[in-house]
Amino acid sequence: MNWSARIQQALSERQQQHAWRSRPQVQHNSTREIQVEGQRYLHFSSNDYLGLSQHPALIAGWQQGAKAGAGAGASGHVTGYRQQQAELEDALASWLGYPRALLFVSGFALNQAIIHLLAGKDDRLLADKLSHASLLEAASLAPAQLRRFAHNQPHSLQRLLAQPVSGATLVITEGIFSMDGDSAPLVEIAQATAAAEGWLLVDDAHGIGVAGDQGRGSCWQQGVKPQLQVITFGKAFGVSGAALLCDDATADYMVQFARHLIYSTALPPAQIGALHAALLAVQQADGARATLQQNIAHFRRGAASLPWQLLPSESAIQPLVIGENSAALALSRRLAQAGCWVSAIRPPTVPPGTARLRITLTAVHRTEDIDRLLEVLHDAAGE
Ligand SMILES: *Cc1c(COP(=O)(O)O)cnc(C)c1O
């Protein structure tokens, strides 16, 4: 089959499976509200958990940074690595108690870089089944053997760890899972990994800024220090980009060999400026974190009697599992008609038969916003 025919076939399969992905064109997004095609909605699909993307200090940090120029001008290995970036890396490392932090343009790129660099063909990668696509993509393309353990089941991981391997083992999980909202049992996972002399990578994209003292994330909260910690800045930090927290030798190894760093333009100065401000704002956001927790508790109380399965999540991610793609889409549309924007998440992002509304709550939602969402959900349930 030629390329055109193959592309056509893939597109028509997408449509038949009610799996077509469309990208809404957003005219306005204040984290609490969104405007799409001229319509205003209460917004329950943002990862901007603390509302920092709209924070005046971050915007000022961005503008201040931009005075140094619009772009970095080169890879960090040429002339794109600025003093401001080095200072940000040092601040992140000392905040989280690691010797080093390395910035990447995105969490997706970072996960490719670290997994591809570490995983040789005699090694094995043991990943939680529900790990983010950026982790599983990298792991399945790497020459190492990939095995997946049952979601949040240390016993399942232990069974895999007990099998012999000639090379090294890297265990991969998330702090708070992006599509389920639940937390990994990091203490048990770290113990099992250490007992097998493996390394642990925790991707805390949804925990950093939100969980733990000062928002230091899931690992800090659970008292675990994995060899590799990935944090991203597109969620609670309200900007974009990512950082790897690790020891000195691993950081040097990445700087020497990671192609995603060497052959890619460094982050623009404006983004570095915004990230400095975001780090301060996150550290000072105890009030916003408390409001977020209240919003989560309020939503869960009101949603308990809905006929759909509300997953056991204490995080800002509150998934309602609907099942079939078409049913999840229909409910999403029904909510939109009533002024609430909640995206339907379908396979392959989630396992088949578990299409869901991934409701996200933020610190900027008001109690009446959540009451409105609950009212609309209960109305839809009664129809
Ligand atoms: C969003 C996300 C990423 C990707 O990070 P970007 O910086 O947006 O590329 C990686 N891992 C997890 C768990 C995520 O949720």
Per-residue pLDDT band at 336 (split at 50, 70, 90):
very high
Residue 19, pLDDT score: 83
Residue 146, pLDDT score: 97
Cis before residue 348, ω within 30 degrees of 0? yes
365 is annotated as an active-site residue:
no
178 is annotated as an active-site residue:
yes
Q: How much is the mean pLDDT over the chain?
A: 96
- Say if strands 26-29 and 33-36 run parallel, antiparallel, or are unpaired: antiparallel
**Residue in the block written with tokens 């800090």:** 220
Specify whether 207 is located in the same domain as 250. Answer: yes
132 is annotated as an active-site residue:
yes
For the residues 322-347, what does the mean pLDDT come to?
95
Specify whether 179 is located in the same domain as 43. Answer: no
Q: Does some domain include residue 33?
A: yes
Residue 98, pLDDT score: 98
Q: Does some domain include residue 98?
A: yes
Q: How far is the CA of 100 from the centre of ligand 1 (A)?
A: 20
* Single-letter amino acid, residue 220: W
67 is annotated as an active-site residue:
no
Residue 1, pLDDT score: 83
Atom of ligand 1 nearest to the CA of 108: 9
271: pLDDT strictly greater than 90: yes
Specify whether 306 is located in the same domain as 216. Answer: no
Residue 240 burial class via C-beta count within 10 angstroms: exposed 0-12, middle 13-18, buried 19 and up: middle
Of the residues 45, 152, 178, 325, only one is catalytic, namely 178
Task: Lay out the sheet containing 39-43: strands in order across.
Answer: 26-29, 33-36, 39-43, 340-341
Atom of ligand 1 nearest to the CA of 233: 7
Binding-site sequence positions: 21, 107-108, 132, 178, 206, 232, 349
Q: What pTM value is reported for the model?
A: 0.97
Last residue of a domain, one of 264, 283, 302: 283
Q: Does some domain include residue 149?
A: yes
User: Would you mind telling me the total number of residues written for the chain in this entry?
Assistant: 383
374: pLDDT strictly greater than 90: yes
371 is annotated as an active-site residue:
no
160: pLDDT strictly greater than 90: yes
18 is annotated as an active-site residue:
no
Specify whether 176 is located in the same domain as 127. Answer: yes
Last residue of a domain, one of 266, 283, 300: 283
Percentage with pLDDT > 70 across the chain:
100
CATH of the domain at 266: 3.40.640.10
Specify whether 163 is located in the same domain as 268. Answer: yes
Specify whether 46 is located in the same domain as 93. Answer: no
Per-residue pLDDT band at 143 (split at 50, 70, 90):
very high
DSSP 265: B
Per-residue pLDDT band at 22 (split at 50, 70, 90):
confident
Specify whether 106 is located in the same domain as 233. Answer: yes
Of the residues 43, 116, 235, 260, only one is catalytic, namely 235
Of the residues 43, 45, 46, 47, only one is catalytic, namely 47
Specify whether 153 is located in the same domain as 234. Answer: yes
- Say if strands 124-128 and 340-341 run parallel, antiparallel, or are unpaired: unpaired
Of the residues 48, 89, 123, 174, only one is catalytic, namely 174
Last residue of a domain, one of 283, 298, 332: 283
Partners of residue 357 on adjacent β-strands: 320, 344
Specify whether 213 is located in the same domain as 188. Answer: yes
Print the domain residue range for 103.
56-283
Q: How far is the CA of 241 from the centre of ligand 1 (A)?
A: 9
315 is annotated as an active-site residue:
no
141: pLDDT strictly greater than 90: yes
CATH of the domain at 337: 3.90.1150.10
Nearest-CA residue for atom 14 of ligand 1: 205
Q: How far is the CA of 130 from the centre of ligand 1 (A)?
A: 13
Specify whether 231 is located in the same domain as 376. Answer: no
Q: How far is the CA of 178 from the centre of ligand 1 (A)?
A: 9
Per-residue pLDDT band at 21 (split at 50, 70, 90):
confident
Specify whether 31 is located in the same domain as 147. Answer: no
C-alpha span between 21 and 222 (Å, rounded)? 36
Residue 353, pLDDT score: 93
pLDDT in tens, 61-120: 999 999 999 999 999 999 999 999 999 999 999 999 999 999 999 999 999 999 999 999
pLDDT in tens, 176-233: 999 999 999 999 999 999 999 999 999 999 999 999 999 999 999 999 999 999 999 9
Report the pocket of ligand 1 as residue ranges, CB < 6 Å: 106-108, 111, 132, 134, 174, 178, 203, 205-206, 232, 234, 240, 242
Decide: helix, strand or coil at residue 220: helix
Out of 129, 178, 239, give the residue to mutate to test ligand 1, the one with the largest number of ligand atoms within 8 Å of its CB: 178
C-alpha span between 76 and 272 (Å, rounded)? 13
Q: Does some domain include residue 11?
A: no
Nearest-CA residue for atom 3 of ligand 1: 107
Q: Does some domain include residue 239?
A: yes
